[in-house]
Amino acid sequence: MLGFLTARRAGLDDPLRLRRAESTRRVLNLKLNPDRDVDRIHGNGINSIDIETIEGRYMLSGGADGVIVIYDLENYSGKPQYTCKAVCTVGRSNRHVHKFSVETVLWYPYDTGMFVSSSFDKTMKVWDTETLKPAEVFEFESNIYNHHLSPIARKHSLIAVGTKNPKIQLCDLKSGSKIHVLQGHKAEVLSVRWSPRYEHILATASADSKVKVWDVRRASGSLFSLDQDNGDKSKSSSEAVNTAHNGRVNGLSFTSDGLFLLTTGTDDRMRLWNSATGENTLVNYGKVCNESRKGLQFTVSQGCSPEFVFVPCGSSVAVYVLHTGELVTMLRGHYNNVDCCKFHPDHQELYSGGKDGNILAWVPVLRASDMEEESDQKNKVHTSLPRLDKRKTKRG
Amino acid sequence: MNRKRALVSDTFKVKKRKTGSEKFGVVDDHGDGQGDIKSTIMDLMTLFPRKLFNDAVPQIVLKHQLYSIHDKTMVDKEVNKLRESGSLLMFQLGFDAEAFGLVFASDYKAKVLAGEEGKATRATVEKFLEKVVSKCTDLSFSKDKMLREFLFTDSEITQLVKSGVLTVRDAGSWWLSIPNTGKFIKYFIQGRKAVLGMVKKSKYGEVLKDDLEQRRTTSHVKFHIKYHINDIVGAELVESVPTTSGTLLRYVDS
């Protein structure tokens, strides 16, 4: 670590190198920390978590009881022991609360004044965070599984909505109307994601085993559909041609640079695709247990080298290296199935929520000062806050 | 004191004291070239009992058996390279959509031709081996492909199916297959079930790998037990946990 710092100071290394190395070290050290807790408000399972990208301070969670909670993740108390308190809640007593379970919650990408939630009560509500009243309600004819707003869009403000209906709706935030429909899937759409690289590219995953990539400006149909055999017709049975998975595709995630797309399916496989060509990179992650009938929210790390994928797998979260498919570790701590997880890129923390109603914070373990025998005298003088031990000159 | 060993990324490995990448069953020779995968395949092939089938069947190794020894993505890449170069052939074995069998091309040709000695279908089979197997790396063939590209007639296709080189997949398409493998697949499935049962019935559903290798096998298990162990570990039917007494195989309930 000191070697990296000296090299950066001397200009031998790019500043990015130190940052990447330290981020990776922190991600590899993720553990449940007894000092960090998240307030338990939800009585039932938690379906979706989102952390806002502007400050990285507020977290939204949507639960199976229709309740939406906003938490403050920052620790200004000065003590290491901290519980992330719920700042405000859209509880059952609120007049506008969703009637059934909230499936997806998402912050507005540009500020925390607004957030969007969609639910099994067939409505999608755009909420004003100050007053906790919906500024806009979009009604649909069937259960909504997933929605997504483009994180980089400047020219449009569309929300893509995946419902039980095979048609994907695009709703406009500015006008408040459903302006566009994307046709092509044959079964319910379980997950939709905008690309973080191009504001018009959208990927959708459906229960008909297909994943389609669309350009919303094009009226005629999808750009391409992901094929797990890369066109090699010999491998699959002749009915299952051109499918991304051998079962329902229930999870989608772009990497933070938008160059790759990850999909998970109920055939217990996870696949990595090149998002520009739709080619299966054939990285083999092994068996990624997946029994979810609805969507699964998984996440990719940012700013590390190599990048990691955090996938909820039963009641634990599996961490894989993105490009080689190696299983790094399983984060165990939940009492029941884990449904969603979200990576906090600034602090390299992982928040995961599940059916047990708990949100667990996985925090990087700080370097332990294990040269305690010699430094006992000096330690007594310093405060009790954990700190990097400067005497670790041996480390790289 | 933190008793758990921390995972350390490559960039910080100066003394190589804590190499976290060894934790989950990944073997430490990461820099494997093509030679090592090939030699592993040959080692695994020695486990295959030839006498049981009276030498009629070439030695078969399953692709997922390699996953238990090397890194999965690398195995896939190397196997594809070997297939492209024509030295290795891959077959869909039929009992599991993901179970692919690997046979060396030379072995396969020798055994098939030996099996065809004195039969009327010999000429067609030879023609098939030359034209199709040497050039095309597909696992299955459709009717127009056979008729148009390779110029086989319908009756010739029937002869190929009869000789066992092609197996019906659905109307108008065939899998490439190895003749006389019916018995192999039957014994394989039986043996897999038996070995898996041995792990399941052990106390706590787990058994040390070395211990399992020493056990006496029932008459259901016709192959070498190591062949089956590699199979169940690679297919992730058991979880392989590294412990201080060696590798532990734990039954996965799914």
Residue A248 distance to chain B (closest CA, Å):
16
Of B2, B14, B20, Cβ closest to residue A395: B14
Clarify whether residues B72 and B155 are in a common domain. yes
Q: Is residue B73 part of a domain?
A: yes
Distance CA B243, CA A36 (A): 31
Listed residue (A132, A111, A130, A105) closest to A52, CA to CA: A111
For residue B245, the enclosing domain spans 182-251
Number of domains in chain A: 1
Considering only CB atoms, A25 lies closest to which of B12, B97, B138, namely B12
pLDDT at B35 over 80: no
A383 three-class SS: coil
Same domain, B80 and B173: yes
- How distant, in Å, are the alpha carbons of A57, A241, A352 from that of A38? 13, 45, 10
Residue B10 resides in a domain: no
- Band of the pLDDT at B95, cuts 50, 70, 90? confident
Residues B159 and B224 placed together within one structural domain of the fold? no
Q: What are phi and psi of B82, to 5 degrees?
A: -65, -35
With a cut of 50, say whether residue A385 has pLDDT above it.
no
- Is-contact A226 A280, C-beta < 8 A? yes
- The model's pLDDT over A217-246, given as tens digits with 9 standing for 90+, comes to 887 788 888 888 776 666 666 556 778 888
Residue in chain A nearest B80 by alpha carbon: A282
| Chain-chain contact of A286 with B173 (C-beta, under 8 angstroms) | no
Q: Using pLDDT thresholds of 50, 70 and 90, give the confidence band for residue A387.
A: very low
Scan residues 106-125 of A and list those with Cβ closer than 8 Å to B: none
- A132 belongs to a structural domain: yes
Number of compact structural domains in chain B? 2
- Name the residue with tokens 């070498």: B224
Residue A375 domain flag = no
Q: Do the domain assignments include residue A388?
A: no
Please name which of B178, B95, B100 lies closest in space to residue B133, comparing C-alpha atoms.
Answer: B178
Other beta carbons within 10 angstroms of residue B250's beta carbon come to: 15
For A114-151, write each residue's pLDDT tens digit. 999 999 999 999 999 999 999 999 999 999 999 999 99
Distance CA B224, CA B228 (A): 7
In chain B, residues with a C-beta closer than 8 Å to the C-beta of A365 are 2, 6
Verify that B194 and B167 share a domain, yes or no. Answer: no
* Residue A379, domain member (yes or no): no
Interface of A with B in 338-367 (CB under 8 A): 365
- Are A183 and A158 a contacting pair, CB within 8 Å? no
Closest-CA distance of chain A to residue B45, Å = 23
pLDDT of residue B46: 80
Pick the last residue of a domain from B151, B180, B209. B180
**Mean pLDDT for the stretch of residues B3-30:** 51
Please name the residues between 255 and 314 in chain A that touch chain B, using a CB distance below 8 Å.
Answer: 282-287, 289, 305-306
Predicted pLDDT at A274: 92
Residue with structure tokens 């009604």? A139
- Please enumerate in sequence order all residues whose Cβ is within 8 A of that of B82, keeping only pairs 6 or more positions apart, or say none: B34, B37, B38, B88
Residues B188 and B205 in one domain: yes
Q: Is residue B71 part of a domain?
A: yes
What is the structure's pLDDT at A368? 64
- For chain B, give the secondary structure using H, E and C: CCCCCCCCCHHHCCCCCCCHHHCCCCCCCCCCCHHHHHHHHHHHHHCCCCHHHCCCCCCCEEHHHHHCCCCHHHHHHHHHHHHHHCCEEEEECCCCCCCEEEEEHHHHHHHHHHHCCCCCCHHHHHHHHHHHHHHCCCCEEEHHHHHHHCCCCHHHHHHHHHHCCEEEEECCEEEECCCCCHHHHHHHHHHHHHHHHHHHHCHHHEEEHHHHHHCCCCCCCCCCHHHHHHHHHHCCCEEEEEECCEEEEEECCC
In a domain? residue A74: yes
Q: In the prediction, which pLDDT does B254 show?
A: 64
Domain, as residue range, for A323:
14-366
Does the residue A1 lie in any domain?
no
- Taking the alpha carbons of A285, A286, A291, A293 in that order, is the dihedral positive or negative? positive
In a domain, A380, yes or no: no
Nearest to A246 among B7, B97, B169 (CB): B97
Asked if B146 and B236 sit in the same domain, the reply is no
Distance CA A380, CA A44 (A): 45
CB contact A384 to B (< 8 Å) = no
Q: Which residues of B touch A (CB under 8 A)?
A: 1-2, 6-9, 11-15, 20-21, 23-24, 26, 67, 71-73, 75-77, 92, 97, 138-142, 169-170, 173, 236, 254
Determine which helix (DSSP H) or strand (DSSP E) holds A74, and give its type and residue range: none
Share of chain A above pLDDT 90, in %: 46
- pLDDT tens digits for range A12-56: 888 888 888 888 888 888 888 888 889 889 888 999 999 998 888
Q: Is A264 helix (H, G, I), strand (E, B) or coil?
A: strand
Last residue of a domain, one of B130, B154, B180: B180
pLDDT reported for residue A131: 92
Q: Which of B3, B4, B12, B23 has the most A C-beta neighbours within 10 Å, making it the best mutation to test the interface with A?
A: B12
Q: What pLDDT does residue A89 have?
A: 92
Contacts of B254 in chain A (CB under 8 A): 289
Under 8 Å CB pairs connecting chains A and B tally to: 82
* Interval B79-90: pLDDT, tens: 888 888 888 888
Q: For residue A81, count CB atoms less than 10 angstroms from its CB and return exposed for 0-12, middle for 13-18, buried for 19 or more.
A: exposed
Q: In what order do the strands lie in the sheet with A178-182?
A: A144-149, A158-163, A168-172, A178-182
Please tell me whether residues B58 and B162 are part of one structural domain. yes
B106 contact partners, CB below 8 Å, separation of at least 6: B87
Closest alpha carbon within chain A to B3: A368
H or E stretch covering A191: strand A189-194
Q: B228 with B107, same domain?
A: no
Nearest CA among A111, A151, A149 for reference residue A130 = A111
Say if residues A200 and A193 touch (Cβ distance below 8 Å): no
Residues forming beta bridges with residue B247, ordered by sequence position: B242
Query: Is the torsion defined by CA of A367, A373, A378, A384 positive or negative?
Result: positive
Q: Looking at residues B145-162, what average pLDDT do you find?
A: 80
- Three-state DSSP at A27 gives helix
**Model-level ipTM above the cut of 0.95:** no
Q: Which residues of A touch B8 (CB under 8 A)?
A: 25, 28
Which pLDDT does position B116 carry in this prediction?
78
pLDDT per residue as tens digits for the range B194-212: 888 888 898 888 899 888 8
Whether A348 and A335 have beta carbons less than 8 Å apart is answered as no
Residue pLDDT, tens place only, A59-95 = 999 999 999 999 999 888 888 888 888 999 998 899 9
B55 with B129, same domain: the answer is: yes
The verdict on residue B92 lying in a domain is yes
Q: Which residue of B has its CA nearest to A24?
A: B9
- Looking up residue A162, the CATH number of its domain turns out to be 2.130.10.10
Higher per-residue confidence, A59 vs B215: A59
Residues A300 and A142: their CA atoms lie apart, in Å, by: 30
**Which of these, B33, B99, B89, lies nearest to B65 by C-alpha position?**
B99
What token pair was written down for A31?
């553990």
Q: Which residue, B161, B180, B199, sits at the end of a domain?
A: B180
Percent of chain B beyond pLDDT 90?
1
Of B20, B73, B92, the CB nearest to A284: B73
Q: What is the mean pLDDT of chain B?
A: 79
- The CATH number of the domain where B226 resides is what? 1.10.10
- Do residues B82 and B47 both lie within one domain? yes
Question: From B5, which residue of chain A is nearest by alpha-carbon distance?
Answer: A29
Say yes or no: B76 and B154 in one domain: yes
**How many angstroms separate the CA of residue A365 from the nearest CA in chain B?**
9
In B, minimum Cα distance to A269 occurs at B98
Which residue(s) pair with A332 in the sheet?
A: A316
Which pLDDT belongs to residue B10? 62
Look at residue B31 in the predicted model and tell me its pLDDT: 45
CA A223: distance to chain centroid?
25
Note whether B47 and B157 are same-domain residues.
yes
What's the rounded mean pLDDT across residues B115-127? 80
Q: Do B7 and A328 touch (CB under 8 A)?
A: yes
Taking the C-alpha atoms of residue B236 and residue B248, their distance in angstroms, rounded to an integer, is: 13
**Quick check: A393 contacting B, CB < 8 Å?**
no
